[in-house]
Amino acid sequence: MSDVTTVRLAAPSYIASVRRHTTFARLPSEIRGYYDVIYAAIRSGKIAKGGHNVAIYRNASRRGVDVECGVQVAAPFAAVGEIECREMPTGEAATTVHWGPYDRLGEAHDRVVAWIRANGRELAGVGWELYGDWDDDPKKVRTDVFHLLKPR
């Protein structure tokens, strides 16, 4: 894990995305199915993959969360069934790198949120994870965790 949180400008980019409403408790058992929908379209040639997997979280509360699971693409495309071309969040974001298993990602989110509050910044209500390349050794699995900041 990394204890370093930085602020960087999240630039415009696109993902092939499916949107769902779920809970953080159910998400671990459901998330694979969200990506399966997208990867089926990639394998069929209907969408061209351009990068890594992404999960974007909005409207998080005790009742649930709106999640967009997506795969980075090189250029915008027309919707393919329920798969939409969506723009990634843009603007200033606080970010950290998490090295390790996905079930510990909450700790990275907590560190970023604590850093935001300690530095007098405000959350804009959107967080996301950018997943690195898979490795069978969980210690080598990289996930970049972001939280969008409200403008000053």
* CA pair distance 82, 23, nearest whole angstrom: 20
Residue 83 carries which DSSP code? B
- Is residue 143 predicted with pLDDT exceeding 60? yes
113 backbone dihedrals φ, ψ, rounded to 5°? -65, -40
Give me the pLDDT at residue 2, please. Answer: 63
Min mean pLDDT across 9-13, 17-21, 84-88 is at 9-13
Identify the residue whose tokens are 């351009």: 50
- What is the spatial distance between Cα 42 and Cα 103, in angstroms, rounded to a whole number? 27
pLDDT at position 1: 54
Residues of the chain above pLDDT 70, percent: 99
Closest CA to 132 of 100, 104, 103: 100
Taking alpha carbons only, the member of 94, 108, 111, 101 closest to residue 132 is: 101
